Amino acid sequence: MPPAGAPVAGPPAGRLGSARLGRLAPDVAGWFAGVAAHRDDLVLDIVDVADHLLPASLDAHDPATAALRPRLAGADAYVVVVPEYNRSITGPLKTFIDSFQSEWQAKPVGFVGYGLGTAGGARAIEHLRQIFAEFHCVGMKDIVTFPRITEHYDARGRFPAEPEDAQAAAKVMLDQLLWWARALREAKAARPYAS
Ligand SMILES: Cc1cc2nc3c(=O)[nH]c(=O)nc-3n(C[C@H](O)[C@H](O)[C@H](O)COP(=O)(O)O)c2cc1C
């Protein structure tokens, strides 16, 4: 077991929860990755669902699914960057999550949401909480949201135009996530999780 206080593996941001042409996901996920990269207590691995459009048949032997398995299994925590589509998450992201099971098990999950409306992705995040509960995951209470996402760009197209609030929210969420990541890693090393 790595020594206490060692960087935890992850969070792999299930980064682009959108696979849409012209998506804004790279901006949101890119910003979050930059914030996370500044910390010395985690190692970031980024997974873009658009690079891994997994089969809707949930074929466990699909090569793309199999290739992702060790990456997801090796992470101590996850952060999902998710846009809100019709008050929920995107289809590709749901297929991605459903394509794995034990890999997610008993780990903490943080959320970064965004959308065109005032909810800022919060309704998609609440659905993600329910989905990840099925894997015995712990969802972080504090979240990062970008309501009215297009208003977070400055005149030059930089995102986010005023990053202070979002950075502070990301710090709170990541502090919680890393506490849980260490606690659960140590607990699972001492005693296998009883699922
Ligand atoms: C099919 C669809 C449904 C959407 N539904 C919502 C919604 O329920 N709430 C909201 O705030 N924004 C909604 N939006 C706006 C998206 O959240 C917004 O366009 C966001 O940029 C999408 O992420 P993406 O650009 O990474 O694909 C919807 C967009 C699409 C394409």
The domain that holds 73 is classified in CATH as 3.40.50.360
Q: Is the CB of 116 inside a 6 Å radius of any atom of ligand 1?
A: yes
> For 139-157, what is the mean pLDDT?
97
Question: Does some domain include residue 129?
Answer: yes
Euclidean distance between CA atoms 75 and 105, whole angstroms: 11
Q: Is the CB of 86 inside a 6 Å radius of any atom of ligand 1?
A: yes
Question: Does some domain include residue 2?
Answer: no
For residue 111, is pLDDT > 50? yes
Which tokens in the block code for residue 144?
Answer: 């990062």
Question: Does some domain include residue 1?
Answer: no
What is the position in ligand 1's atom list of the atom closest to the CA of 120?
Answer: 11
What range does the domain containing 167 cover?
8-190
pLDDT digits (tens, 9 = 90+) for 61-81: 999 999 999 999 999 999 999
Q: Tell me the pLDDT band of 34, cut-offs 50, 70 and 90.
A: very high
For residue 9, is pLDDT > 90? no
Q: Is the CB of 18 inside a 6 Å radius of any atom of ligand 1?
A: yes
Chain mean pLDDT for the chain: 92
**What is the distance in A from the centroid of ligand 1 to the CA of 192?**
40
Cα separations in angstroms, 88 against 55, 91, 119, 183? 20, 9, 11, 30
> Going by C-beta distance under 8 Å and a sequence separation of 6 or more, which residues neighbour residue 188?
106
Euclidean distance between CA atoms 84 and 31, whole angstroms: 18
The total number of structural domains that make up the chain: 1
Residue of the nearest CA to atom 27 in ligand 1? 23
Which of 28, 85, 86, 159 for a ligand 1 pocket mutation test, highest count of atoms within 8 Å of Cβ? 85
Residue of the nearest CA to atom 30 in ligand 1? 85
Q: Tell me the pLDDT band of 8, cut-offs 50, 70 and 90.
A: low
Question: Does some domain include residue 71?
Answer: yes
pLDDT for the residue numbered 14? 40
Which of 31, 48, 49, 84 for a ligand 1 pocket mutation test, highest count of atoms within 8 Å of Cβ? 84
What is the position in ligand 1's atom list of the atom closest to the CA of 114?
Answer: 17
Q: How many DSSP H helices and E strands does the chain contain?
A: 5, 6
Q: Is the CB of 139 inside a 6 Å radius of any atom of ligand 1?
A: no
Q: Is the CB of 17 inside a 6 Å radius of any atom of ligand 1?
A: no
> For 78-93, what is the mean pLDDT?
97
pLDDT for the residue numbered 6? 45
* Strands, E assignment, the chain: 8-9, 42-43, 78-83, 108-114, 138-139, 144-146
Helix, strand, or coil here: 161? coil
What is the position in ligand 1's atom list of the atom closest to the CA of 84?
Answer: 17
> For 131-139, what is the mean pLDDT?
98
